[in-house]
Structure 1
Amino acid sequence: MTTASGAPPRPDVSVVVSVYNTMPYLTRCLTSLVEQTIGERRMEVIAVDDGSTDGSAEEIARFAALYPGLFTTVRQPNSGGPAAPCNRGLELAAGRYVFFLGADDHLSPEALERMVTMADDCRSDVLLCKMVPVGERTVPTGVFSRSSPAIRLVGDGLPWALSNTKLFRRSLIERHGIRYDETMPAFSDQPFVLEACVRAARISVLADKPHYFAVRRADSSNITYQAPPPVRLRCTERLFETTCRHLAPGPLRDAFHKRHFHVEIFQLFGADFPALPEDVRETVCTGAARLIGAHGDGVLERLDPGRRRTLELAWRGDIPSLCAEIARDPARTPRPPKLGRFPAVRKLMTAMLG
């Protein structure tokens, strides 16, 4: 099919899939895309392989051969994180909307069709579809309590739903030059999503049924889980920098800062913290204290007692008491680094840590 000018029609939606060693989950992911009811003429899939070594590249090639009109494929050396392949996908995207799908995850058959229809009907710049967890993955729930043509930046659960698994109006992304920070091995989707949501005229939610199935790999082998605490600290600092750049002081900014204290800062003090080298513990504690001192006023007291106690100990620099607090909490689980799975990660992390 071509337009009157002879050019192929512009797809309604470009789906960007950033891939790094995600077999066997990748097969289910790509299968869910070829099964979309929106049809091949209205969508395109841009699969960017970031130097996989587990057969993911071959699986992408197999799907591209079976569905040549649907898939655009890119293979590049490993970059150390999802930011670079996501940016590469954006460069190639032609759709009116762009949707980022995790290579571990999959969609319901009608997901893209229903999202595009709602976004068109509501004139949405950003649209969230209901996510459900598979395995031990956690997903936000509050923002998906009901479908809504328009939600607020704060008050409807959006600060707790900053993953990039959303439908974005591509003209908004391009008009403001919004891109992923390729120097962030972890959390790089959050600054991207925050800026897009701040600049959006309307953010909508499609929540009447699950459309996005978020999968936790059995070995937790992705960069967010594997990045060591000092790198997660530096990436978290970037999150605070982003909120300060795009949101004026006040309730809106505080709501996003509460999320970062509740999640990213608190997770720096998991069960693995007491076993870290002394200098690393000192670095993490000092960095967290700096963020608490700069942004915690009026926010820290709104955390639950357990998190508040942990962060107060970090702010005071009381590492022995902090380690004892962690040891008493059976809910904290370690995330030991396995950096060998990410050949470019060491270089990127070294650059971040100076």
Structure 2
Amino acid sequence: MILKPAISIIVPCYNAIDKIGRCFASLSNLKLEIDLYEVIFVDDRSSDGTYELIEKTLPLHSNWRAYCLESNSGSPSKPRNVGINESRGKYLYFLDCDDQVKSNSLELLYNLAEVTNADLVRSELLVDDGKSLTIMNRLRTWSPHMTTQQRRKMIISQQSTTVDSFVRRDVVVSNSIRWPEHLRMGEDTLFLSAILAHAEKIEYLAAPSYIYNRLPSMTPASTQRYGRKELSDHLEVWETAQKILAPAGVDYRNCRLSVGLRVAIESMIFKNRGDIDQSTFEKLAGFLKINRTLVSGFNYSQRIRDVVSAAQQNDYEQFACLTRPRLLIAGYDLKFISDVIPELAKHYDIRIDQWKGHAIHDEAASREHLQWAEYIWCEWLLGNAEWYSRNVRQDQKLVVRMHRMELGRAHGERLDMRNVNAIVAVSTFFFERLLERFPSIPRKKVRLIHNYVRIERYKSTWSSKRSFTLGMIGILPARKGLLKTLTILNELKKIDPRFELKIFGHRAEDIPWVLKDTQEMQYFRECSDYITQNKLDDSVHFLGHQDITCSLEKEDVGYVLSTSESDLGFPGPESFHLAIADGFAAGGVSLILSWPGAEYVWPQEIIHDSINSIVSKILYFSKCPDEHQMSSRIGLEFIKENYNYESFVQAVVNTYLEI
């Protein structure tokens, strides 16, 4: 039982089950006698099992304790305050649960504090972004001859206000200093300001003690979004820090506002929640007008100056436009993303770099677009992705979306993966196929974002003719399996002559490359021969390219068939096959003749192992129209839940936030 340790390490926790392991490891490796320190974990009512994991770890460490709040507070401040109340050490040290403390740092901090009788010791910081370690918070001109006021000013002006202060507990308790629990942003600034204002002896350790992790995580951090609440917090923090530090001889606005305002504006741009309303904006505008002279002297980029100017001019619409990241969408065929661009535009300022072919573009125009962009989305892993991967700047974020056909091309082999932040696959099966085809692409850079369906755009009125009308959306190339669909039609007509097939899309003879391909043309001649031999000419209707959102209903299609080949070579089978979603969205049902990966995308109930199974299902529905319609509604609900455009847009937003 530890009666009075020298150091209390306070660790607030919330939903960090995939991140806290690094923290555990660093605390386990501390080079301190076990009776010299205690570790206090305070969980903010995690919902992912973090607290349970901490409890399982406690028996391994006699000087570790844990507490769990009764309800979630929404910020690390309350857990830190609980930690202060429960602490018994002479000194306090705060560590976030997704960061690390260096093994020898607490010993160094403690020894320095004891030798100098310091109330506060600040040190350097290591930032780990997964690629390199960068030293921050270094005070190159620190001198033992500096006055206390000079030390305060240097720390505020030259260090980030990170949590890693080594502070005498008596200073905190006797001055009733606590972390401000109502703030979501900037609470560390006010806590450090209060400590600096009351500390009589301040020291600096010229060595890193704390490792701040900027590694990607699937669990979003509370600081990943910025909006009305965060901006309001920052405005309060800037005013309050000024009041706290002024009596201690430090002008916070002169020392730190330049950095604080820049970080806030960058957060508005790149982490924008989109909820900064007119009222909150006007508070910012008022603050900037009052401090116009000071702010005009800040050395900002033109991007930041434009946002400041819009606020100073009280131009809310311009401000809202400027506080969106600049997203460049580049590619040749944009059919799988074009109709969601209006929704993406709510989050991004968007430009399009329309390529003339898979590897053909106006390079001068692309370079101009690239100069403007902050984020780049390459639709298809083709020449566009290859070119952008070689030309993006280090400060830009490049995401490439791969569908299917790219696995049959070599562009993925020629990517400069150092400059690609993420590659998106549209299905689970093709997530793995991508990694198999291009071993140079690291798994950690691949993301899964399914295609989306704009179901609200489809017409879906039911008619009795739907019970006997098959549909096929796209028959090119041969792997789409037209002959199998014709076989299904033929088997159905043997039982009921009312069945017919409506085919949407180009015919083989309409496409030059198909005409030149001997194998392809041979296949489609076999299909024509099959139609003739089985007297299906009056039952097969080639309707050409049409707007599927209304044509399926207009043509009374009740069944959309997916009969693609199960080829396991590259590029392979279907990756997603949007035609299946079309069928349900338009009021029919879709049926799949099993191809590899279909089970990861679509309900098992619509996947069939044989032509006979599909024939039986269609015959059943034709006799039971109520069941047919019920199955369509179930499929539609599945699409609404899994492939809605709102989820797609949010996944794109989350991807750029994460990387």
Aligned to 1:71: 64
Q: What are the within-5 Å matches in structure 2 for residues 304-323 of structure 1?
A: 304-306=300-302, 307-322=304-319, 323=321
Q: What are the within-5 Å matches in structure 2 for residues 160-179 of structure 1?
A: 160-179=159-178
Q: For the structure 1 residues 286 and 329, does the alpha-carbon distance in structure 2 shift closer, same or farther, using more than 3 Å as the test?
A: farther
Deviation at 1:88, TM superposition (A): 0.3
Q: For the structure 1 residues 27 and 305, does the alpha-carbon distance in structure 2 shift closer, same or farther, using more than 3 Å as the test?
A: closer
Give the Cα separation in 2 of the matches to 1:263 and 1:86: 24
Aligned to 1:263: 263
Please say if residues 16 and 90 of structure 1, whose CA atoms lie closer than 8 Å, have aligned partners that are also in contact. yes
SS of residue paired to 1:286: helix
Please say if residues 146 and 207 of structure 1, whose CA atoms lie closer than 8 Å, have aligned partners that are also in contact. no
Larger deviation: 166-175 or 284-293? 284-293
1:17 paired to 2:14: no
Q: For the structure 1 residues 130 and 26, does the alpha-carbon distance in structure 2 shift closer, same or farther, using more than 3 Å as the test?
A: same
Match of 1:242 among 240, 243, 258: 240
Give the Cα separation in 1 of the matches to 2:323 and 2:78: 38
Unaligned stretches of 5+ residues in structure 1: 2-7, 339-354
Match of 2:41 among 47, 52, 71: 47
Deviation at 1:65, TM superposition (A): 1.1
Please say if residues 127 and 205 of structure 1, whose CA atoms lie closer than 8 Å, have aligned partners that are also in contact. yes
Please say if residues 125 and 137 of structure 2, whose CA atoms lie closer than 8 Å, have aligned partners that are also in contact. no
Please say if residues 42 and 79 of structure 2, whose CA atoms lie closer than 8 Å, have aligned partners that are also in contact. yes
Q: For the structure 1 residues 88 and 157, does the alpha-carbon distance in structure 2 shift closer, same or farther, using more than 3 Å as the test?
A: closer
Unaligned stretches of 5+ residues in structure 2: 327-371, 375-394, 398-648, 652-659
Aligned residue type for 2:216: A
SS of residue paired to 2:24: helix
Question: For the aligned residues, what is the CA RMSD?
Answer: 3.0
Please say if residues 146 and 206 of structure 1, whose CA atoms lie closer than 8 Å, have aligned partners that are also in contact. no
Give the Cα separation in 2 of the matches to 1:256 and 1:290: 19
Q: For the structure 1 residues 292 and 138, does the alpha-carbon distance in structure 2 shift closer, same or farther, using more than 3 Å as the test?
A: farther
Aligned residue type for 1:242: T
Please say if residues 27 and 59 of structure 1, whose CA atoms lie closer than 8 Å, have aligned partners that are also in contact. no
Aligned to 1:350: none
Q: For the structure 1 residues 329 and 160, does the alpha-carbon distance in structure 2 shift closer, same or farther, using more than 3 Å as the test?
A: farther
Please say if residues 7 and 37 of structure 2, whose CA atoms lie closer than 8 Å, have aligned partners that are also in contact. yes
Aligned to 2:410: none
Q: What are the within-5 Å matches in structure 2 for residues 1-354 of structure 1?
A: 9-68=3-62, 70-76=63-69, 77-135=71-129, 141-145=136-140, 152-155=151-154, 158=157, 160-208=159-207, 210-219=208-217, 221-226=220-225, 228-248=226-246, 252-253=251-252, 254-264=254-264, 266-271=265-270, 276=274, 280-306=276-302, 307-322=304-319, 323=321, 327=326, 328=372, 330=374
Please report the TM-score for the alignment, with normalisation by the length of structure 1: 0.81
SS of residue paired to 1:119: helix
Aligned to 1:343: none
Please say if residues 104 and 217 of structure 1, whose CA atoms lie closer than 8 Å, have aligned partners that are also in contact. no
Please say if residues 172 and 200 of structure 1, whose CA atoms lie closer than 8 Å, have aligned partners that are also in contact. yes
Q: For the structure 1 residues 204 and 45, does the alpha-carbon distance in structure 2 shift closer, same or farther, using more than 3 Å as the test?
A: same
Q: For the structure 1 residues 284 and 217, does the alpha-carbon distance in structure 2 shift closer, same or farther, using more than 3 Å as the test?
A: farther
Q: For the structure 1 residues 155 and 108, does the alpha-carbon distance in structure 2 shift closer, same or farther, using more than 3 Å as the test?
A: closer
Give the Cα separation in 2 of the matches to 1:184 and 1:268: 16
SS of residue paired to 1:51: coil
Aligned residue type for 2:294: G
Deviation at 1:317, TM superposition (A): 2.1
Deviation at 1:176, TM superposition (A): 0.6
Q: For the structure 1 residues 64 and 272, does the alpha-carbon distance in structure 2 shift closer, same or farther, using more than 3 Å as the test?
A: closer
SS of residue paired to 1:143: coil
SS of residue paired to 2:127: strand
Give the Cα separation in 2 of the matches to 1:111 and 1:292: 40
Larger RCO: Structure 1 or Structure 2 (Cα < 8 Å, ≥ 6 residues apart)?
1
Q: For the structure 1 residues 295 and 145, does the alpha-carbon distance in structure 2 shift closer, same or farther, using more than 3 Å as the test?
A: same
Please say if residues 23 and 54 of structure 1, whose CA atoms lie closer than 8 Å, have aligned partners that are also in contact. yes
Please say if residues 111 and 211 of structure 1, whose CA atoms lie closer than 8 Å, have aligned partners that are also in contact. yes
Give the Cα separation in 1 of the matches to 2:206 and 2:241: 27
Aligned residue type for 1:165: D
Deviation at 1:50, TM superposition (A): 0.9
Please say if residues 57 and 75 of structure 1, whose CA atoms lie closer than 8 Å, have aligned partners that are also in contact. yes
Deviating beyond 6 angstroms after TM superposition, the runs of 4 or more aligned structure 1 residues are 136-140
Larger deviation: 23-32 or 108-117? 23-32
Deviation at 1:148, TM superposition (A): 5.7
Please report the TM-score for the alignment, with normalisation by the length of structure 2: 0.45
The count of corresponding residues between Structure 1 and Structure 2 is 323
SS of residue paired to 1:152: helix
